[in-house]
Structures are given as C-alpha cells and as structure tokens.
Amino acid sequence: MVVANHRLEAYTVNLPEAKLHRHEQFRSTFLEHDRDVLVWLPPGYDESGREYPVLYMHDGQNLFEPETAFQPGEHWRVGETATELIEDGRIEPLIIVGIYNTGEARVDEYTPTGDKRLGGGHADDYGRMIIEELKPLVDRAYRTKPDAANTGVGGSSLGGLVSLHLGFTHPAVFTKIAALSPSVWWGRKTILKTIREAYSKPPIRLWVDMGTAEGRKGLDDARLLKAALVGLGFAPDVDLHYAEYEGATHSEQAWSERVGPMLEWLFPAR
C-alpha cells in the first residue's frame, strides 16, 4: 500500500455543536491536483474516548460551510443535521470527511471511463487516493472504526456516480454507499454495465435517490439503476433505499434536504 509522504495537519473551525478540522492542500501521488480535506467530529468526540464509523463525502466545499459552497450560502448543512440526529438518538455518532473537488478536474476524478469530448476516466485513481492515502491517515489521526462495515462513501451527481463505482469495485473498503441524483448517464450508462456484470451482490447498503424535477432522462436512468440493483439481488428497504423526491431539482438545496434521511438509512442508531 502506498501512503503519501506527509501528515494530516489541521486547524480547527469552531462550530457551536462540534468541531470541523481543515487539512489544507492534501497531496496525492495518484492525482495531479492538491485539495483541502475537512474532518467533522461529532459532539462529545473529545470527551468520549470511543471509536467512530466514518463517511467519506465528495464535493467537500458544499457540505459544511456556506461561504465555500458552489452557490454561496447554499451548503448541505451536514454538520447541523448530523448533530441534531445524533443528539436525538436517531443515528450512530460518526465522523464525516469532506473531500474538496478540484474544479475543472472534478469530471476527470469522478468518472470511471473517458469521453472524447468531456474527458474523464480517473475514478480509479481518485479511489486509490482515498483508500491508499487519505483513509490510512484519517484512521491514524482520529479514533475511527476502520473496517468496511463502518466505512461509507457518498455524494451527488457525478459524486453519486463515483460513490457507486467505488462501492462495487471496493466492497472490502466501503459498505455504506450514498448516491444522490447519480449521473447514471455517464459513459453510455457504464455504471449499469458494472452492476449487471457483477459476479455476485456485494455486501453493501445503498441509498439512491432522484428528484422528479431533474428531468425525464434523469428519472428514467434512476429507475434503470434501481432495476439493475434489484436484478443483482438488492432488496428495497432491506439493503437498498430508493426514493424519488417530488419537485426536487438538481441542486445543493435539494440535496441538503436529503442528508438527514440518508444518514438515518446508512448509520441508524444501534
């Protein structure tokens, strides 16, 4: 296993409900661009001494802070939502790692195949960055439960696509997968081919959703994805949650409203 030759060095963003650590300019040997990484620690982390499951999420600048969101002020409110659910006893306390995207390279890093016009095709390298470099450092720097049963990955749009790809190619690392409005269309629906050609159903728990205002093509693709997953053996409301949200658009605001249900599905209170 290759590990990047640097440490996680952080400064803390003080939040009223928890702590958000910012690790600037994380460097990978597999990818061209450096990126910031945020690590959100749940309420009581410093006092508990316990170990926590971890959810790795893409497009990290959209998750916690309104000023860094793609649409300023429209962040996912992941910290606030997770805090409320933890304090209400509705989810297991967890650590959430937000991995910044790198702007123009986002398409390359979040897609499993290349396209002559759009580029792409470096999702496997992005996965190696998480699995071989970032995750070992997070596991050393924080009190985590590092096994696959306690490790998830999630995102929206192309972030949903790469989450599905990583779940099916690395089920020994990630068993909790969140794909909000996934870009099933990419590469002539290559993710459907990955699922249909799988030798067996991986032991993962899936959240898949789509908004009804994201277009007919998006809805049709999401339904094809659900059918492929069910065909492989996933059972709705057992290890697959599929939902269509009436009137929901392809936007940070829409996804922020699904953070709570997604966390409750993937990390229910024990």
| Residue-number span of the structural domain to which 129 is assigned | 10-266
Give the model's pLDDT for residue 20.
Answer: 95
Q: Which residues contact 38 (CB under 8 A, 6 or more apart)?
A: 20, 21, 22, 23, 60, 63, 64, 97, 98, 100
> Has residue 1 been placed in a domain?
no
> Has residue 66 been placed in a domain?
yes
Local confidence pLDDT in tens for the 270 residues of the chain: 333 444 555 444 444 446 899 999 999 999 999 999 999 999 999 999 999 999 999 999 999 998 988 888 889 999 999 999 999 999 999 999 999 999 989 999 999 999 989 899 999 999 999 999 999 999 999 999 999 999 999 999 999 999 999 999 999 999 999 999 999 999 999 999 999 999 899 999 999 999 999 999 999 999 999 999 999 999 999 999 999 999 999 999 999 999 999 999 999 998
Closest Cα partner for 150 from 21, 78, 50?
50
> Has residue 229 been placed in a domain?
yes
- With the C-alpha atoms ordered 221, 171, 256, 97, is the resulting torsion angle positive or negative? negative
> Has residue 2 been placed in a domain?
no
> Has residue 3 been placed in a domain?
no
> Has residue 61 been placed in a domain?
yes
> 130-133 long-range CB contacts below 8 Å, 24 or more apart?
130/56, 130/99, 130/166, 131/170, 131/173, 132/1, 132/2, 132/3, 132/30, 133/2, 133/3, 133/4, 133/28, 133/29, 133/30
> Has residue 96 been placed in a domain?
yes
- pTM for the whole structure: 0.94
Give the model's pLDDT for residue 18.
Answer: 60
Give the model's pLDDT for residue 72.
Answer: 84
Q: Which residues contact 52 (CB under 8 A, 6 or more apart)?
A: 42, 45, 93, 94, 95, 142, 143, 144, 145, 150
Give the model's pLDDT for residue 4.
Answer: 43
Give the model's pLDDT for residue 116.
Answer: 87
Q: 130: domain CATH number?
A: 3.40.50.1820
Q: Which residues contact 223 (CB under 8 A, 6 or more apart)?
A: none
Residue pair 151/176 in contact (Cβ under 8 Å)? The answer is yes
Domain count, the chain: 1
> Has residue 262 been placed in a domain?
yes
